[in-house]
Structure 1
Amino acid sequence: MKRLISADVSEILKMNSKELKQSIKASDGRVVLSENFAPRESWVGEITNAEIAASFGADLILLNGIDVLNPEIAGLPDQSKGENPFETLRKLCGRPIGVNLEPVDASADMMEERCEIEVGRTATETTLEKINESGIDFVCLTGNPGTGVTNEAIIESVGRAKRNFDGLIFAGKMHSAGVSEPVINLDFVKRLIEAGADVILIPSIGTVPGITLEMAHDAVELCHLHDVLAMSAIGTSQEGSGIETIRWMALQNKIAGVDIQHIGDAGYSGVAPVENIFELSKAIRGLRHTVSKMSRSILR
């Protein structure tokens, strides 16, 4: 299996979930995931934010805010012709594509006003079956701000995803999602592993208050003990911070041992500032691998 950071597009898009997981693992903590808010008008209107992120070094693309029952991806051509928009996007940017689905808990103890979302954005059997039919490479079971996603609901949704989805399952929290409970602890990580998650989300060091290097490292060690991957997540709008902040976070998370580094969508029109995607990539794998990823043609 070729490591993801060195693989050609023709090799990447043929990978099944087991092969993709191994390819990420073989990349030694140097994989970059860019999240973007799919329905929002893209930064450069006639192309997608996914293409923009890929061109600045992203290895994986995660679509946020997308109603998978009525998908809308800004900047994607010919959406009115009945084609599979997710497959079209995979071909355009040459990257594995994932979507966020949110395990909303109606009984959650909220710290703020609840944000109601479309059914097509929630983690149900119907939405999971839909993304499976659409050829999505991975699903991320997490919560946006104020949506009322709880840890318990995420754990429950992992089992649902195992039954209805063939791709990789990412699960966990990037921030509180408006709920009054710990964002992460070792018990939560353990239960996600037991439920069958392939990749566990850990808030990036320097984002959620109280997430220390020791805490993140312990969570990563627990994941790796069970052959599960770990992903740090910058999901607190700090993806729009200065490059010095991004560089510091990237190195801290690499010291903690994560396999994937996520950068969120709070930037230009629903994608992180491109210079921050570039800086994150450069910090964790150097200029050579960054330029390799940026320059490698999707026709290879």
Structure 2
Amino acid sequence: MKRTFELNFEDMMNISKKDLLLSISSSEGRTVMAETDVAKQPIVYGVSNPELAAAFGADMITLNLFDFDAPFIFGIDDKDLAISDASDMVNKSAEIQKILHRNSADRDYIRKIKNVVGRLLGVNMEPIPKNINYCEGRKLNKKNLEKASELGFDYIVITGNPKTGITNEDILNGIKEAADILGDKAIIIAGKMHGAGSDNIYDPKVLQDFSKAGADIILIGAPGTIPGLDFELCRRQISAIHETGKMALTAIGTSQEGANLNVIQDMALMSKMAGADIQHIGDAGYGGIALPENIAALSIAIRGKRHTYRRMAYSLRK
């Protein structure tokens, strides 16, 4: 089985859930995930943030704020509209609506996006509490889970954006629902990278409960990202996850994805020493993506320039 940083374009397009989990496990902590906010204009004109994250060394790209009711990725879907500011959005609203209608009816939409980005694609899905007003197309529910399976996402991430009030119980219930619907179609990643308007997770037992509920990979904050989460606590949490036979993902999701290179490198090395199987870097640098050089810095820190450059060069090899 190839390791994730050895997967080429064809591998990425056709890999099964079972083989992807084996590929991640075989990589010995050297898998890089980058999150991008697809509801924002990209930071570089003419190229989407997912493509940029891929170019700087990410193996897996997670789409944040993706709307299942109105699929649209800036930098890809608006390439013929030449939108540069808010007035363009208003003036070309009719054209945008046509694109949204077309995308909503396209069962191969995400497969086509994968063909552009050349990476494994996942999506954030949020188990929003009933008392929180939130966009329906971004919620974790039966309808959106079925769409995620149909569209061909490689994985989903059950977590919470800031101020959503998502609790540990919400995540636990979301895992159970996702496991019933997705089966062997997509990997389920679940956990918290910050409080999400509720509480941070410190108790390893909570993480084991996520695993037993059906999550394939458990998400926790990287050392130094949330108050009190140091290397030792991170190591204990990951050990508890591994005891259940599941893998662990450490996330930089507290806007530190826009920090200096040495901060990213320190977090990456501490996460690797703690036993992380995947390392995630979030979307809060500028304009819905980590600083691109920080994606590369994380990759180089945990797998060196040789494997980082391979991943960058494999971008669209068919």
- TM-score class, shorter-chain normalisation, is over 0.9
- Residue 298 of structure 1 is matched in structure 2 by 316
Corresponding residue SS for 1:163 = helix
Q: Is 1:246 the counterpart of 2:264 in the alignment?
A: yes
Give CA deviations for 1:222-276 in whole Å, capped at 9, x if unaligned.
2222221100001100000000100110000000010110000011210111110
- Choose from 164, 176, 180 the match for 1:163: 180
Structure 2 counterpart of 1:75, one-letter code: G
Q: Secondary structure at the match of 1:170?
A: strand
User: Could you say what secondary structure the match of 1:223 adopts?
Assistant: helix
Q: Deviations over 1:7-53 (max 9, x none)?
A: 21211221111111110110110111000001111112322111100
Partner Cα distance (1:235, 1:207) in 2:
7
> What does the per-residue CA deviation read over 1:153-212, in whole Å, with 9 as the maximum and x for residues that have no partner?
100110100111220000000100011x34231111111011010010110101100112
Decide which moves more: 80-89 or 67-76: 80-89
**Counterpart residue identity of residue 16, structure 1:** S
CA offset digits 1:99-139 (Å, max 9, x no partner)? 001111246xxxxxx7x420111110111011111111100
Q: CA RMSD in A?
A: 1.5
Deviation at 1:90, TM superposition (A): 0.6
Identify the residue that residue 222 of structure 2 maps to in structure 1: 204
Alignment of 1:74-223 (within 5 A): 74-77=74-77, 80=99, 81-82=102-103, 83=106, 84-106=108-130, 116-165=133-182, 166-179=185-198, 181-223=199-241
DSSP 3-state at the match of 1:91: helix
**Structure 2: where are the runs of 5+ without partners?**
79-97
What is the aligned partner in structure 1 of residue 287 from structure 2?
269
Task: State the shift of 1:70 in Å.
Answer: 1.4
Larger Cα-atom Rg:
2
Alpha-carbon contact 1:99-1:139 (below 8 Å) kept: yes
Shift of 1:58: 0.2
Give the CA deviation at 1:85: 3.1
Partners of 1:150 and 1:184 in 2: CA distance = 13
Query: What one-letter code is carried by the residue in structure 2 that aligns with 1:100?
Result: N
- In 1, distance between residues paired with 2:58 and 2:155? 15
Question: CA contact under 8 A between 2:39 and 2:73: conserved in structure 1?
Answer: yes
Aligned residue identity for 2:280: H
Does 289-298 or 170-179 show the bigger shift? 289-298
Identify the residue that residue 94 of structure 2 maps to in structure 1.
none
Count of residues paired in the alignment = 292
Is 1:6 the counterpart of 2:23 in the alignment? no
Residue aligning to 1:110: none
Q: 1:222, 1:8 → 2: CA distance?
A: 33
Counterpart-to-counterpart distance in 2, 1:297 and 1:251? 25
Structure 1 SS opposite 2:66: coil
Contact 2:126 2:158 in 1 (8 A): yes
Partner Cα distance (2:247, 2:4) in 1: 14
Partners of 1:125 and 1:297 lie apart in 2 by 33
Q: Secondary structure at the match of 1:61?
A: strand
5+ residue gaps in structure 1? Answer: 108-113
